[in-house]
Structure 1
Amino acid sequence: MTRIVELAGLALVFATGAFAQQADQPLLSGEKAFGDWKADRPGVRRLLKPQDMPKPDVAESASNGGGVTDRPEGARPKLPPGFSAELVASGIDSPRVVRVAPNGDLFVADSRANQVRVYRLAQGSAKPAETSIFAKGLTRPYGIAFYPPGDKPQWVYVANSNSVVRFPYREGDLEASAKPETIVAKVPASHHWTRDIAFSPDGKTLYLSVGSGSNIAEDMGAKPKGGVEAWAKSQPLGAAWGAEEGRADVLAFDPDGKNRKVVATGLRNCSGMTVQPATGALWCVVNERDELGDDVPFEYATAVKEGAFYGWPWYYIGDNEDPRHEGARPDLAGKVTLPDVLIQAHSAPLNIAFYDGGNFPADYGFPAEYRGDAFVTLHGSWNRNVRTGYKVVRLRFKDGKPTGEYDDFATGFVIADDALWGRPVGVAVAKDGALILTEDGNGTIWRITYGDGRS
């Protein structure tokens, strides 16, 4: 109990002068953009470029995870001026991805409990008017998508760790009306198990992300059967083999699960996907590899280019060769696609949502300058001497294209070097313009509004 009181006191200290919020602060670039939880505050803006990345250090690898404690009384996300956060729900086992149904219901993957929850909020409020378990008996559910896209979906798709299933859906359903139908079976499920899904705007393509089975393909084997040259000729650019075959990929299917194809390779763990409303482009946020030092390599968010290879396991952030695979794939040098937005190493980006903002009520919608930007949740580091991540950042866009800059938006989840209460995971935009955030440190869901949008 004493420990919780001490942490609550620390939270109050950080909420005052030392963390005075500024709407806009000078852009931090190069090494100055490297930070940790003590330097995070809403409005801090960063820009990282490939040349800012230090050289890898295989010998130096920190282990600094854990430290989750009870949420101190009154603790909530720290936000820019004019924004407020209200608690929707707490005590959830493992709230991960959150997606918003066309009628406004919040569908939340409760992964450890193997179920999908539904929250129907009272109008303009964070208070749930109704809650329900939509489906149970799943296998570590994560991604959720409604099909067909638009106002009248007929199915709810759920990505288990080892499959994609769907349930019949009618507007307002709080419980599934039938057993799940398997659409994609035999998805490899070990190690990186978070499978996200999204549909193309025309509804013709189902996208599925499948993360790697390891950190750097330790068990893949040095060469595929028949040799690297033969493999490279018969497979997509940069495709892994052995235990990693079919992993670190973004895949595409017809909505019925047929006609599988590889969209892109070398994305170590694309743990969150969405479609950009302005362009229809598919976006991924990617957890890069560990054990190369505190600031190597950068994580990233990127529009997924068809046929692209993003480097894993042989390269990272362009033609930077992983020293643990030195000389293994010289044929891939110069063929690695650079991602669009670089994020500090070990931040662990898990989800992404674009703030479209076209028809939101004035009382709840964010300021106009947020329209077209994206929000990314950073789950937080374990492989760094001083913690980084544990926040929500805003990716800046101009005319539908990323500038490469990102701002701290929601911070305050870490309260001491060895203690934190929140780990952001899911993010979505509600029908009224509020931002919905899940975190799985204390199992909470938050509704973030601007101005008078408080209940």
Structure 2
Amino acid sequence: MKHIQLLIALSFVIMFASSCETDENFIPEKDGSPSISLGYLEAPAGFEISVFAENVENARQMAMSDNGILYVGSRRKGNVYAIVDTNNDFRADSIHIIASGLRLPNGVAMKDGDLYVAEVSKIWKFEDIDSNYDQNPEPILIIDELPTEGHHGWKYIAFGPDEKLYVPIGAPCNICNHEEDNPLFATLTRMNADGSEHEIVAKGIRNTVGFTWHPTTGNIWFTDNGRDWMGDDIPPCELNEITAEGQHFGYPYMHGNEIWDPEHGEDGKTKNIDFKKPVQELGAHVAPLGVIFYTGNMFPTSYKNTALIAEHGSWNRSEKVGYRISQVKFDKNGSPKSYEPFISGWLQGDEDIKGRPVAILQLEDGSLLISDDESGTIYRVSYSAQ
């Protein structure tokens, strides 16, 4: 009988070991104290944060070419950069300014070897950019008919699976309703790569400076910055999902799940609009910008398809919040089950600001790049289970 029990136990061990070995992408999480990188950034155990590039003044959105050249927009600086890692050691060897004097050129996107750059009211195309980034390339104007208002006029842009260029147009104010003046305000729009067939995808979006496509459903997910001057703790910023075209996400009438705006809420109650609620309410004033779903194989398996959000940080809250990368995890039904910090430390105390994260880009090896427009740094986040 003892021999039979021993054989059963050995069989179970062998079966368990075999089942683990068949998952080639299984990466265990390290136990123990959090990792501290660069002397101030804190991440879970096993993660390392290094400097990919520095002196990239006011670094904002990033786009990587097929040849491994990183293009970076800025905001107030007005520059667009090309960052070259010649020997592929994840450390920049040269930084080139390919355009300057632009008006808030936050957005950059790559398509078929061409670099697209968004100003406030214009979008430009730099053809075959990898071959002439260091030769003062001349851009081609794609469109110059976008609103000229600078308030929330900077843009995050990206090409979708349908090969159209998605372009958000923020509200030209903290809180206002200018839809009748220009229906493009407070929307997410899209157009063909040549600027034609410009159309609205979703409405009621105060200011999104980060969106992506879900790796499983293909739906667009975006962050949205909540309005100011309603207090320290309301309204929440938001993580949203577009599940059908033409949806309205509440602005300027409703914020978060059920907060009616004190100036426009009563008007919103009279409208026959089914406001789309956020998937996840984020912290008030954290200023969420870039968002991605992690799909790589470098990080532990628990990170697969979780949302990572760059929280730029508050500017007018009595006690600062944000200044971190947060993570939203989901249950098997796709509903959020947690919202918590992933990388923190850009804010030390309430006065010492080491940086402000803006955008997140996943590399082919599964590591991440994070841009920081305060310090002009681009960080690389990697993981080792050893």
TM-score of the two chains, using structure 1 as the length reference: 0.72
Deviations, residues 219-272 of structure 1 (Å, cap 9, x unaligned) = x4xxxxxxxxxxxxxxxxxxx223x64211001112211112111111100111
Q: Distance in 2 between matches of 1:120 and 1:399?
A: 40
Q: Distance in 2 between matches of 1:316 and 1:194?
A: 22
**Residue of 176, 200, 204 corresponding to 2:160:** 200
Q: Distance in 1 between matches of 2:93 and 2:62?
A: 17
SS at match of 1:140: coil
Deviations, residues 96-136 of structure 1 (Å, cap 9, x unaligned) = 11222223322111333322112223556332133322333
Q: Is the 8 A contact 1:300 1:341 kept in 2?
A: yes
Q: Say yes or no: does 1:133 pair with 2:97.
A: yes
What value does the CA root-mean-square deviation take over the aligned residues? 2.8
Q: Distance in 1 between matches of 2:266 and 2:299?
A: 49
Q: What's the CA shift for 1:92? A: 2.9
Runs (5+) with no aligned partner, structure 2: 1-28
SS at match of 1:95: coil
Runs (5+) with no aligned partner, structure 1: 1-21, 26-40, 44-72, 148-152, 221-239
Q: What's the CA shift for 1:91? A: 2.9
Q: What's the CA shift for 1:274? A: 2.0
Partner of 2:59: 95
Q: Is the 8 A contact 2:30 2:385 kept in 1?
A: no
Q: Say yes or no: does 1:415 pair with 2:375.
A: no
**Residue of 277, 285, 299 corresponding to 1:338:** 277
Q: What's the CA shift for 1:441? A: 1.9
Query: 1:397–1:164: structure 2 CA closer, same or farther, 3 Å change rule?
Result: farther
Query: 1:90–1:298: structure 2 CA closer, same or farther, 3 Å change rule?
Result: same
Q: Say yes or no: does 1:105 pair with 2:44.
A: no
SS at match of 1:401: coil
Q: Distance in 1 between matches of 2:158 and 2:333?
A: 19
SS at match of 2:266: coil
SS at match of 1:96: coil
Partner of 1:83: 47
Q: Is the 8 A contact 2:38 2:50 kept in 1?
A: no
The alignment covers a number of residue pairs equal to 355
Q: Distance in 1 between matches of 2:79 and 2:258?
A: 41
Partner of 1:212: 171
Q: Say yes or no: does 1:328 pair with 2:267.
A: yes
Partner of 1:60: none
- Percent identity, please: 30
SS at match of 2:313: coil
Q: Is the 8 A contact 2:66 2:113 kept in 1?
A: no
Partner of 2:236: 298
Give the letter for the 1:132 counterpart.
H
Q: Is the 8 A contact 1:279 1:400 kept in 2?
A: no
SS at match of 1:324: coil
**Residue of 200, 203, 213 corresponding to 1:275:** 213
Query: 1:121–1:433: structure 2 CA closer, same or farther, 3 Å change rule?
Result: farther
Partner of 1:446: 379
**Residue of 145, 154, 158 corresponding to 2:109:** 145
Deviations, residues 159-181 of structure 1 (Å, cap 9, x unaligned) = 11221111112656544774222
SS at match of 2:151: coil
Q: What's the CA shift for 1:307? A: 0.7
Give the letter for the 1:196 counterpart.
Y
Deviations, residues 32-53 of structure 1 (Å, cap 9, x unaligned) = xxxxxxxxx979xxxxxxxxxx
**Residue of 350, 361, 383 corresponding to 2:289:** 350
Partner of 2:187: 249
Partner of 2:143: 184
SS at match of 2:240: strand
Give the letter for the 2:83 counterpart.
Y
Q: Distance in 2 between matches of 1:390 and 1:287?
A: 14
Partner of 1:432: 365
Q: Distance in 1 between matches of 2:262 and 2:31?
A: 39
Partner of 2:318: 385
Higher relative contact order (CA 8 A, sep 6+): 1
Q: Is the 8 A contact 1:319 1:333 kept in 2?
A: no
Give the letter for the 1:323 counterpart.
P
Q: Say yes or no: does 1:287 pair with 2:247.
A: no
Partner of 2:3: none
Q: Is the 8 A contact 2:170 2:187 kept in 1?
A: yes
Q: Is the 8 A contact 1:341 1:404 kept in 2?
A: no
Query: 1:154–1:92: structure 2 CA closer, same or farther, 3 Å change rule?
Result: closer
Q: What's the CA shift for 1:413? A: 1.1
Q: Is the 8 A contact 2:98 2:136 kept in 1?
A: no
Partner of 1:18: none
SS at match of 2:97: strand
Q: Distance in 2 between matches of 1:249 and 1:326?
A: 19
SS at match of 1:437: strand
Q: Is the 8 A contact 1:97 1:109 kept in 2?
A: yes
SS at match of 1:128: coil
Q: What's the CA shift for 1:77? A: 1.9
SS at match of 1:329: helix
Q: Is the 8 A contact 1:161 1:194 kept in 2?
A: yes
Q: Distance in 2 between matches of 1:24 and 1:344?
A: 28
Give the letter for the 1:370 counterpart.
Y
Query: 1:125–1:397: structure 2 CA closer, same or farther, 3 Å change rule?
Result: farther
Q: Distance in 2 between matches of 1:447 and 1:354?
A: 17
SS at match of 2:42: coil
Q: Distance in 2 between matches of 1:398 and 1:121?
A: 38
Query: 1:93–1:141: structure 2 CA closer, same or farther, 3 Å change rule?
Result: same
Q: Distance in 2 between matches of 1:386 and 1:398?
A: 32
Deviations, residues 421-442 of structure 1 (Å, cap 9, x unaligned) = 2111121112222110111222
Q: Is the 8 A contact 1:348 1:378 kept in 2?
A: yes
Q: Is the 8 A contact 2:115 2:129 kept in 1?
A: no
Query: 1:258–1:81: structure 2 CA closer, same or farther, 3 Å change rule?
Result: same
